[in-house]
Amino acid sequence: MDQSDHQPHLHPIVSDRVTVKGVVTPLALLPDGRLWWSEGLQRSLHLEKDVLSFVANGPNITLRTIQEVRAGCCSTTSAGSFVRRDVVFQPSSNESHVLWCQKLREYIESLGRPKRLFVLVNPFGGKKSAKKVFWKKVSPLLSDAQIELTVQETQHQLHAKELARSLDLSQYDGIVCVSGDGILVEVVNGLLEREDWQTAIKIPIGVVPAGTGNGMAKSLLDSVGYPCKVANAVLAIIRGHKRSLDVATIRQGETRFFSVLMLAWGLIADIDIESEKYRWMGSARLDFYAICRFLNLRHYTGRVSFVPAPGFEEHGEPSSYPGQSTSEGSNIDPSEAENTQLQKLGYQGSNINLEHLNWRAINGPFVSVWLHNVPWGAEDTMAAPDAKFSDGYLDLIIVKNCPRLPLLAMMTELNKGGHVKSPYVTYLKVKAFVLEPGPRTKKPEKEGIIDSDGEVLARGKGLTSVIKKV
Ligand SMILES: Nc1ncnc2c1ncn2[C@@H]1O[C@H](COP(=O)(O)OP(=O)(O)OP(=O)(O)O)[C@@H](O)[C@H]1O
């Protein structure tokens, strides 16, 4: 609640002499959404930022407010903490009560907030705390904001994708994932496999961080200066804050996958996927396994080809579209064939003619190849500091010829994005990308994992990634 010394000069939408805590005071709702009154001190609230909802009870009107506690030298609460408080006032007459309710409702309606949400809770994600996070921190706030909820726990892998594929979207203003990034990715893929994908993909998707990495929640909140905390994510959802996001289409043979976060091969993919067996450690599993991999560093042969964004044309050598490799390696098993049938209904991916683009290439061996759509890969990993949500490009980070010591120094810079300045790193923006992965230099019988958004996409097969905003 702001304590303001200045009386507002705007003409109010509605004003009255109301009673607050037994004291009669002028109260005004201003056109900018500010509510202004006096309680000894002059006070103000912003309907957009501070008010979740209001209720009329008898002669009173209760504003359900939530306000950020500013961290100060004497404060024991951390930045990004909130206090829920009710502000109760009594209008001077019945007519005034009706008018206040009408004007408050009209203003809140005009903010475009969601009213009905479909909420997916992954009981398995992260440290298996998503259920607790939902019932303790998410549900109370959404209820206070008078948002009607349909809650579904995910029962198994790909359940969220199945649900997104068949959900009656006309019943909801958005889908919320209380999970890590995995459920968000499943939802995007499910929506894009629908026959009505063009309208389906417009439904807003919210993420509440309750997984291991939470790269998307971190990227979204950090981009507006907020810490990656559950309450901040829920408030962004309640306030109806949205931004558009590029989706990359990844093809391998006949199969297709839609990615919103990243694609990795080499060191990062090995850490992300092989550390799954240490899931009980929580997010420490990633640090622990990074050290294991560092002590026994792998180098992968292969080649990456890419279409650089304007300004990045000097990277690599001139090349042509390695089209052949994309149709090779397409041994589709029966479950993939069924998947392919379903995919024929939905979004077919970008129809850019790849052969006519300006391709360039870099040959291995590689320590790591990483493509990123958003800045943060996890809450403590700023993988691609320059990545933008919807610029039409992916950030490509390649690590080559890197001795162990500089690699260690580079890894310690990951939490603030400093690794991209290393002389062993090539960092650029690309429009399209082809990976032709080869085996490990020291164990040619072993091929690398290709990790897209935390899931194993393939092990050592050729693939293409083309970015296109849908
Ligand atoms: N009931 C369930 N049992 C087992 N696995 C599940 C269940 N529900 C969902 N999953 C799977 O759990 C995986 C991980 O989900 P999620 O992304 O929420 O958590 P995370 O992996 O801990 O987080 P992050 O992706 O940020 O590391 C997803 O691949 C999803 O398909």
Q: Which atom of ligand 1 is nearest to the CA of 184?
A: 17
Domain boundary among 74, 109, 144: 109
User: Do 273 and 391 belong to one domain?
Assistant: yes
**CATH code (residue 313):** 2.60.200.40
User: Do 314 and 347 belong to one domain?
Assistant: yes
Is residue 207 predicted with pLDDT exceeding 70? yes
CA of 319 to the centre of ligand 1 (A): 39
CA of 158 to the centre of ligand 1 (A): 9
Is residue 76 predicted with pLDDT exceeding 70? no
Residue 338 — very low, low, confident or very high, per pLDDT cuts 50/70/90?
very low
Measured N-to-C along each axis, helices 284-295 and 267-274 cross at an angle, to the nearest 10 degrees, of 130
Query: Could you tell me the residue range of the domain that residue 332 belongs to?
Result: 249-468
To the query of whether residue 391 is one of the catalytic residues in this protein, the response is no
Is residue 340 predicted with pLDDT exceeding 90? no
Model pLDDT, residue 5: 44
pLDDT (tens digit per residue) in 287-310 = 888 888 888 899 999 999 999 999
Give me the catalytic one of 181, 270, 272, 451.
Answer: 181
Is residue 163 predicted with pLDDT exceeding 80? yes
Is residue 283 predicted with pLDDT exceeding 80? no
pTM of the model: 0.89
Is residue 468 predicted with pLDDT exceeding 60? no
Is residue 8 predicted with pLDDT exceeding 90? no
Model pLDDT, residue 407: 92
Mean pLDDT of the region 251-271: 89
User: Do 281 and 196 belong to one domain?
Assistant: no
pLDDT (tens digit per residue) in 88-147 = 999 999 999 999 999 999 999 999 999 999 999 999 887 789 999 999 999 999 999 999
Among protein residues, the one with the nearest Cα to ligand 1's atom 10 is 157
User: Do 386 and 275 belong to one domain?
Assistant: yes
Mean pLDDT of the region 343-356: 79
What percentage of the chain reaches a pLDDT higher than 70? 89
User: Do 430 and 373 belong to one domain?
Assistant: yes
Among protein residues, the one with the nearest Cα to ligand 1's atom 4 is 156
Neighbours of 56 (CB within 10 A): 15
Is residue 315 predicted with pLDDT exceeding 80? yes
Token output for 159 = 């359940």
User: Do 147 and 49 belong to one domain?
Assistant: no
Model pLDDT, residue 291: 87
Domain boundary among 189, 218, 243: 243
CB 80 within 8 A of CB 68: yes
What is the identity of the amino acid at 455? E
* Domain count across the chain: 3
User: Do 429 and 333 belong to one domain?
Assistant: yes
pLDDT (tens digit per residue) in 28-71 = 999 999 999 877 777 889 999 999 999 999 999 999 999 887 66
Model pLDDT, residue 325: 43
Tally of residues, the chain: 470
User: Do 334 and 448 belong to one domain?
Assistant: yes
Domain boundary among 87, 109, 131: 109
Model pLDDT, residue 332: 33
Residue 330 — very low, low, confident or very high, per pLDDT cuts 50/70/90?
very low
Beta strand 300-308 pairing with 360-363: antiparallel
Is residue 322 predicted with pLDDT exceeding 90? no
Q: What are phi and psi of 293, to 5 degrees?
A: -70, -35
User: Do 239 and 261 belong to one domain?
Assistant: no
Q: Specify the DSSP class assigned to residue 234.
A: H
Neighbours of 404 (CB within 10 A): 10
Model pLDDT, residue 37: 86
CA of 210 to the centre of ligand 1 (A): 10
Q: Which atom of ligand 1 is nearest to the CA of 177?
A: 18
CA separation for the pair 290, 462 (Å, rounded): 26
pLDDT (tens digit per residue) in 378-413 = 998 999 999 999 999 999 999 999 998 899 899 899
Residue 327 — very low, low, confident or very high, per pLDDT cuts 50/70/90?
very low
User: Do 55 and 123 belong to one domain?
Assistant: no
**CATH code (residue 34):** 2.30.29.30
User: Do 55 and 167 belong to one domain?
Assistant: no
CA of 460 to the centre of ligand 1 (A): 24
- ipTM for the predicted complex comes to 0.95
User: Do 92 and 133 belong to one domain?
Assistant: no
**CATH code (residue 122):** 3.40.50.10330
What percentage of the chain reaches a pLDDT higher than 90? 67
* Ligand 1-lining residues (CB < 6 angstroms): 122-126, 154-159, 179-183, 186, 211-214, 454
CB 467 within 8 A of CB 251: no
Across the chain, mean pLDDT equals 88
